[in-house]
Amino acid sequence: MVSAEVRRQQRQRHGGGSRRRSRRERRRRSRIRLLLAVLVPAAVACVAVAAAPLWTDGDGLSTAAAASGSDGPAKDPAASASASGPGSKTGAGTGPKVSHRPKASHKPGPKTKPGSGSGSGSKTGGHPAIPPSGPGTFTVARAGATSGGGNAYRVEVEDGSGVDPDAAAEQIAGFLAAPRGWAHGGEHTFHQVTDGPAGLVVRIATAATTDRICGSSGLDTHGEVNCRVGVNVMVNLKRWQTGSPEFDGPLADYRALIINHEVGHWLGHGHETCPGKGRPAPAMMQQIYGLKGCVANAWPYDTNGRYLSGPSVP
């Protein structure tokens, strides 16, 4: 028979083991609670990021456009910096340097009649190799005969892009002053400046520089499209030089579409889509993604002064 002393020692051993198991169980549960406290918030954050829209539309504007000031003439803090003199830092946190061309005799390039569909070059040829990236520094185009009232704008071209700033500025001035453009009926007027305040800056830049400046406001232009950030209209060099495979027309007209579309955003216009098969595509349509039965068109107005609209895109 087992003596009372032996049974007492057995109970002590069993009780000590139970207490040790209990302590181990409490430590295990504590570690699980700590692990859950770390992992659950991280999992929730990952789900939120995955659910957030990451796409951009055909001109580089993302669903964050409203927050980044992409739908109207912005009175942006970057405006004063962007309007600074030679060699100044410009842009909202982007820091590209801008230089001014020396005052010298300049022979302008061949003029094109705005809205006529004429212009030099083609959509696929007639231009030098297009550099994918550049130094991020810009040269300001000399102002032509566009002095006067209205919206002050400046044209800047990235150094090394192969685009002559003055020739590009002359073409852009024609687009902005065209009767079928936003100047229709004197509703909007524009004048080019070389320094001083400018509420609108049109920049032609390589894909990498366009991506970087657009990306500073959360827009993904993925090396292909344009964007509008604050006072800056960023024109992707590739689009300026080659046009779009969806646009059936001269390169000059596609350049007009780039300016009309992005300046349209600057003026507060949202996206529109095709109003019907065979009708002109609105200038505010994302034509680079397909015409949806419409006919390619670069201008906000037709020859009779009617606005070429389409259903709004939510």
Asked if residues 131 and 162 have their Cβ atoms less than 8 Å apart, the reply is yes
The per-residue pLDDT for 245 is 85
Question: Nearest-CA neighbor of 96 among 201, 207, 202, 209?
Answer: 209
Class of residue 153 by CB neighbours under 10 A (exposed 0-12, middle 13-18, buried 19+)? buried
Mean pLDDT for the chain overall: 74
Higher pLDDT, 246 or 90: 246
The per-residue pLDDT for 48 is 35
The per-residue pLDDT for 25 is 73
Percent of the chain scored above 70 by pLDDT? 60
For residue range 148-166, what is the model confidence (pLDDT) as tens digits? Answer: 678 999 999 999 999 999 9
The per-residue pLDDT for 19 is 60
Q: How confident is the model at residue 24 (pLDDT cuts 50, 70, 90)?
A: confident
What is the DSSP-derived secondary structure letter of residue 282?
P
Sequential DSSP letters for 93-151: TT--BEEE-------------TTSS--SS-SSSSS----S---S-EEEPPP-S--SSSE
Task: Report how far apart, in Å, the C-alpha atoms of 199 and of each of 25, 128, 151 are.
Answer: 68, 32, 7
Find the mean pLDDT for residues 218-223: 90
For residue range 251-296, what is the model confidence (pLDDT) as tens digits? Answer: 999 999 999 999 999 999 999 999 999 999 999 999 988 999 999 9
Residues in CB range of 59: below 8 A, 6 or more apart: 225, 226, 227, 228, 261, 262, 265, 286, 288
19-28, 39-48, 95-104, 280-289: segment of lowest average pLDDT: 39-48
Q: How confident is the model at residue 187 (pLDDT cuts 50, 70, 90)?
A: confident
Q: Interhelix angle for 251-266 vs 165-177, to 10°?
A: 70
Task: State the number of CA atoms in the 13 A half-sphere of 142 facing the CB.
Answer: 13
Cα pseudo-dihedral 216, 222, 228, 234, rounded to 10: 100
The per-residue pLDDT for 5 is 65
The per-residue pLDDT for 203 is 97
- Is residue 74 scored above 50 in pLDDT? no
Hey, where are the domains in the chain?
A: 1-52, 78-289
Q: How confident is the model at residue 198 (pLDDT cuts 50, 70, 90)?
A: very high
**Residue ranges in the chain assigned as alpha helix (H):** 4-51, 78-82, 165-177, 207-215, 237-242, 251-266
Find the mean pLDDT for residues 199-204: 96
Instruction: Name the pTM for this structure.
Output: 0.65
- Is residue 115 scored above 80 in pLDDT? no
159's tokens: 């150094």
Task: Report how far apart, in Å, the C-alpha atoms of 106 and of each of 128, 158, 167 are.
Answer: 22, 19, 10
Residues in CB range of 209: below 8 A, 6 or more apart: 96, 133, 134, 136, 158
H/E element, 232: strand 232-236
Taking the C-alpha atoms of residue 134 and residue 96, their distance in angstroms, rounded to an integer, is 11
14-28, 74-88, 263-277, 289-303: segment of lowest average pLDDT: 74-88
- Is residue 138 scored above 80 in pLDDT? yes
Taking the C-alpha atoms of residue 63 and residue 89, their distance in angstroms, rounded to an integer, is 28
Neighbouring-strand partners of residue 203: 156, 234
85-89, 154-158, 221-225: segment of lowest average pLDDT: 85-89
